Structure 1
């Protein structure tokens, strides 16, 4: 019952503010912004494509080494289910909570990366994994989304943050990069540094300081290459892999042969021959070579156009964001997913020295899947919040009170 002399508005009947009945999703899918809907569809297509490519790339090695042609596929499907659960969680939780979590998660990530140097599992001379029971954890992969979140939180409020806070987080970022370099893992360290640099550039920081930072980062990278023999060998073999086609240049030569064998339209799904006994690491670092052999030049161009579309939609989300911090998160997430994909493809096609970066949502590995789909979820969350959907529940609208009398 309304009080005398006070007029109230009728209850809100706008369907867009009705409580969500979509289960884990923050709002019914039909009420999402167009960019958010398109991104979710693109991520689903990307995930399905990854499962199909991995199925083809891994069956022969799985049969030969594990006695089960579906060994890698079954494990990837389990990780894919868990990773999609993490994506849906990202859609449920607002960005303010994610950014509050980012700082502690980043510090924990630094500790875990440091732990790999002491008690990590060493593969091919690099200590990048912590083994906990049947699970292998790669902290340098899992920390990537939180680097984006904390980098956006720092640089979005750069002018209002106290000097000691700036120095603290810059030291944390620098320490993380140096720890990853120590593993050694130059590719992930370079990607982390480049990601932070791009977020800082998008925030409008002083160009002189950014250029100086780029120079310092380049010198650190060159020093790492000079110190670590295997990194130096990778660079020299990249320049002319055919000079030692059976030695240091073997991986790249076999990758180029696979890509070249694809021709215009490819050999057909599942019909790659290089994956059978020639191409190494065909399920992770060089999985693009298998894809290119089976789907050819046309398929490779279509994959690049897919990445271009994803990047375009991601930047549209960034431009529509209502706050600078949301905008930087969207830019960082887009740059991480698309940029890492381009770097992986560049390595497989001989445009860059061989690195250990996986192809997001396609390469085998649960850590990469978790990080990639969480990043995708954060990007979609940016789109939802740019349209005013700040939480899974609608904001309660208080009745408008008219003056008495």
Structure 2
């Protein structure tokens, strides 16, 4: 082997490091998580508006005589979502945690009320409230409220995570109550995403692995039981297993989505030039908008969307890892898992890897509740990004920066862990100095206190470490 051959790999490694070094240097900046999250949020929002306009133009013109009716509503939803995003960005973290129980109770009350005549039935499910012509689903906001409250309970009990009764109660009973209320609508897709939120809470809180095996087995059993009860759910499963068995019936939507993706090829037919929106693919601007992306922008457009969601996963877990507040760590990781997990489920059933569940693609599919809730999640993550210790130090020493001045954001307060309680004084009478056995008794009391203190701190520290690294 010649010298030139030996030095070629070294030169390639140096070239790779030269390309990556500016990105690595930028990621070490104190507010890198905040700025990266804002960039991904803006790109997903703009991309979603463009694709909704393209995918809904034919359906809007057919129903309303204007190609911009669905797009106009989506713009209004995005403006409302920006207001929610800004409020979530400014709300103090302590205030969120303090009122998490009230938020969860309010969402549970709405889930009960939507089952009454006050709710509206759309597409076979009583999941909607319609107020002044604007419809919204309370279950979307219940997912966020459950994540905030569940993280508060688990962080409060983080020293007792090795005991199942403290790990599961009251988080799991509250989740089962929400599952029941949502399935009474019925809405299997939202139930699945609520289950993802529950799994993420327990995973990042440090629950043992055998618990997840039992929960997943129970979930699969429940899904099969629900599918056997309702004919349309069983039809979805059978069409997923063999879509060609009924290509003009139950398998029609899945087959048309695959045809649209195949028709796009590498670079697509061009923006606005797709055929699937001409009444070939139902719900094309909502549940199956990823098929339109593949048809009009090709594999490149689909890859861009996947990279944006992958970046969301990276920056969300980065925020969780870099924070010191255990509640922020748990909420950030849970919300990120839910948001990216819903995107994975949507893409999975569009490309034929999962049964159809009717979940929208976050920030891209049309729909008011989904867009507003997704923007709320991004606002919470952006707020948490400004609470990283390096970010707080930079904001306090160098000022709010350009974005902070533009948005008039307050300077976040540093995290201060709660003071530890002092152990209670022994109630037994003190031994006389020099009395027989007094030293041994003191040694036993001291050793017991040390072991008890170590037992209290051990599971909590492991839970925090696991929540940051997973």
Corresponding residue of 1:111: 109
Q: CA offsets per residue over residues 367-399 of structure 1, 9 Å max, x none?
A: 111110000111111111123649814669xxx
C-alpha displacement of 1:127: 1.4
Corresponding residue of 2:410: 392
Q: Equivalents in 2 of 1:130, 1:257: separation in Å?
A: 35
Corresponding residue of 1:126: 125
Query: Compared with structure 1, are the counterparts of its residues 166 and 246 closer, same or farther at alpha carbon in structure 2 (3 Å cutoff)?
Result: closer
Which of 268, 271, 281 lines up with 1:269 in the alignment? 271
Query: Compared with structure 1, are the counterparts of its residues 216 and 158 closer, same or farther at alpha carbon in structure 2 (3 Å cutoff)?
Result: farther
Corresponding residue of 2:251: 249
Q: Secondary structure at the match of 2:173?
A: helix
Q: Secondary structure at the match of 2:386?
A: helix
Q: Equivalents in 1 of 2:293, 2:127: separation in Å?
A: 27
Moved more, 93-102 or 50-59: 93-102
Does the 8 Å contact 1:107/1:172 carry over to 2? no
Q: CA offsets per residue over residues 102-137 of structure 1, 9 Å max, x none?
A: 222222212212222222222232211122231212
Larger Rg: 2
C-alpha displacement of 1:160: 5.2
Corresponding residue of 2:57: 59
**Structure 2 gaps, min length 5:** 1-28, 396-408, 415-470
Corresponding residue of 2:145: 146
Does the alignment pair 1:157 with 2:152? no
Q: Secondary structure at the match of 1:218?
A: helix
Structure possessing the higher relative contact order (Cα contacts under 8 Å, 6 or more residues apart):
1
Q: Equivalents in 2 of 1:46, 1:302: separation in Å?
A: 10
Q: CA offsets per residue over residues 248-304 of structure 1, 9 Å max, x none?
A: 111111111111110111000011111112010011101111111001112112211
Q: Equivalents in 2 of 1:59, 1:32: separation in Å?
A: 43
Q: CA offsets per residue over residues 71-105 of structure 1, 9 Å max, x none?
A: 01111111101101111111111222112232222
Query: Compared with structure 1, are the counterparts of its residues 178 and 395 closer, same or farther at alpha carbon in structure 2 (3 Å cutoff)?
Result: closer
TM-score between the two structures when normalised by the length of structure 1: 0.85
Does the 8 Å contact 1:138/1:367 carry over to 2? yes
Query: Compared with structure 1, are the counterparts of its residues 214 and 155 closer, same or farther at alpha carbon in structure 2 (3 Å cutoff)?
Result: farther
C-alpha displacement of 1:179: 1.2
Q: CA RMSD in A?
A: 2.1
> How many pairs were matched up?
366
**Structure 1 gaps, min length 5:** 1-30, 397-405
Q: CA offsets per residue over residues 175-210 of structure 1, 9 Å max, x none?
A: 001111221111110111122112211111233333
Does the alignment pair 1:295 with 2:297? yes
Q: Equivalents in 1 of 2:271, 2:147: separation in Å?
A: 36
